[in-house]
């Protein structure tokens, strides 16, 4: 097995699927966020707007395309971007790397993907009665249902192929792809000096990223901040009175259906055995989704998270717009290369 400690791995924040998978959130320090924000050219000195529950109208929000029955969140585009956008970028990077690796005498398979986005994360557990009736509390990908063209090992979120993805490849192959740590270059924020990433710009992966995504370090920093805000606001929502009251109404609804759960997490995090969802799991998940819908919890909870995310982002004008500009430039370069 290749010693993965020898190879450069950018210091990107954990994807949201890792942050919120089974409600285990990776939360970093507030000082790190302020440092990265300063370096990304985002104004972190603005005063946070007062967005009280009374002054924020969630009914003006768009419906979510990720979670049926909920509202779209301000950070959805960053923490769960469109799959096709990712595939466009992946294909361009893979083609560039394949050409570079061929010049080094190696054959690079397009199955070594560069996914940089999170799989759909279940903020609220299950919200769709239709999905619950089929998958229970499992994610479709956990049951082998995925919209990817090929099955690849899960990566570490850095964008660099993981050790598992490259298991069996020679050390020389991986060195040509990712470089040696002796050749690492730190990508630093010019203002704060914070290290955004370590990588080898002369290795095939580094060359591809620098040519096709020249602001990838800046984008990674913005995404790390977005994951942090998403995680923090999710946790904060659990202590919001409107959500607590919503949980109580949901619990009462579940009780009428014969289930004793204090909140949706208690049902979602229950131990459901078997490789596929059983009858009891499906019955519980369906009741869960029905109660979220009938009590309005889907909109109550997502509306509160949207309010909290909006308040957090008001401190950093232009944050989402800056990320969108970088993404669009990446997509334009990828489409030109494909």
Per-residue pLDDT of 210-244, as tens digits, reads 999 999 988 888 888 899 999 999 999 999 999 99
Q: What is the pLDDT of residue 291?
A: 98
Helix intervals (H) in 238-314 = 241-256, 264-268, 279-295, 297-313
| Least confident piece of the model among 47-56, 80-89, 270-279 | 47-56
How do residues 88-134 score in pLDDT, each as one tens digit?
A: 998 999 999 999 999 999 988 765 554 443 445 568 999 999 999 99
Between 155 and 87, the more confident residue is 87
Q: pTM, whole model, 2 decimals? A: 0.74
Q: What is the pLDDT of residue 194?
A: 81
3-state secondary structure of 124: coil
Report the pLDDT averaged over residues 46-56: 60
| Least confident piece of the model among 175-179, 184-188, 202-206, 327-331 | 184-188
Q: Which has the closest alpha carbon to 94: 113, 69, 73, 74? A: 113
Q: What is the pLDDT of residue 129?
A: 96
How do residues 264-279 score in pLDDT, each as one tens digit?
A: 999 998 989 888 999 9
| DSSP structure class, residue 65 | S
- For residues 104-128, b (16+ Cβ closer than 10 Å) or e, as one string? eebebeeebbbbbbbbebbbbbbbb
DSSP run (H or E) holding 324: helix 319-337
42 neighbors 213 (Cβ within 8 angstroms): no
Question: Looking at the predicted structure, is the pLDDT value of residue 135 above 80?
Answer: yes
- Is beta strand 195-199 parallel, antiparallel or unpaired with respect to 185-188? antiparallel
| Least confident piece of the model among 60-64, 188-192, 202-206, 306-310 | 188-192
Q: What is the pLDDT of residue 273?
A: 87
Question: Looking at the predicted structure, is the pLDDT value of residue 314 above 50?
Answer: yes
């Amino acid at each position: 097995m290749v010693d993965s400690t020898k190879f450069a791995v950018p210091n990107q924040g954990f994807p949201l699927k890792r942050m919120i998978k089974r409600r285990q959130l990776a939360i970093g320090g507030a000082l790190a966020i302020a440092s990265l924000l300063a370096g990304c050219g985002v104004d972190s000195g603005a005063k946070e707007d007062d967005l009280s529950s009374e002054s924020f109208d969630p009914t003006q929000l768009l419906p979510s395309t990720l979670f049926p029955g909920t509202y779209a969140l301000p950070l959805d585009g960053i923490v769960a971007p469109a799959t096709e956008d990712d595939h466009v970028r992946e294909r361009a990077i893979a083609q560039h790397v394949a050409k570079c690796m061929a010049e080094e005498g190696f054959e690079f398979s397009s199955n070594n993907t560069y996914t940089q986005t999170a799989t759909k994360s279940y903020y609220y557990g299950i919200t769709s009665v239709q999905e619950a009736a089929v998958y229970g509390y499992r994610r479709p990908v956990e049951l082998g249902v995925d919209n990817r063209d090929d099955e690849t090992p899960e990566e570490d979120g850095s964008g660099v192929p993981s050790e598992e993805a490259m298991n069996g490849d020679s050390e020389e192959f991986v060195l040509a792809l990712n470089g040696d740590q002796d050749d690492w270059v730190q990508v630093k924020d010019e203002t704060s000096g914070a290290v955004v990433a370590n990588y080898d710009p002369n290795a095939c992966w580094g060359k591809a990223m620098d040519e096709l995504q020249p602001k990838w370090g800046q984008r990674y920093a913005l995404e790390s901040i977005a994951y942090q805000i998403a995680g923090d606001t999710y946790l904060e929502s659990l202590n919001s009175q409107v959500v607590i009251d919503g949980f109580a109404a949901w619990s009462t609804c579940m009780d009428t259906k014969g289930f004793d759960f204090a909140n949706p997490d208690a049902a979602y995090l229950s131990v459901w055995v078997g490789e596929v969802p059983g009858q009891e799991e499906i019955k519980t998940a369906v009741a869960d989704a029905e109660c979220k819908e009938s009590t309005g919890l889907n909109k109550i909870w997502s509306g509160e998270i949207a309010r909290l995310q909006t308040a957090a982002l008001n401190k950093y004008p232009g944050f989402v717009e800056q990320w969108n500009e970088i993404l669009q430039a990446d997509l334009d370069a990828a489409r030109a290369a494909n």
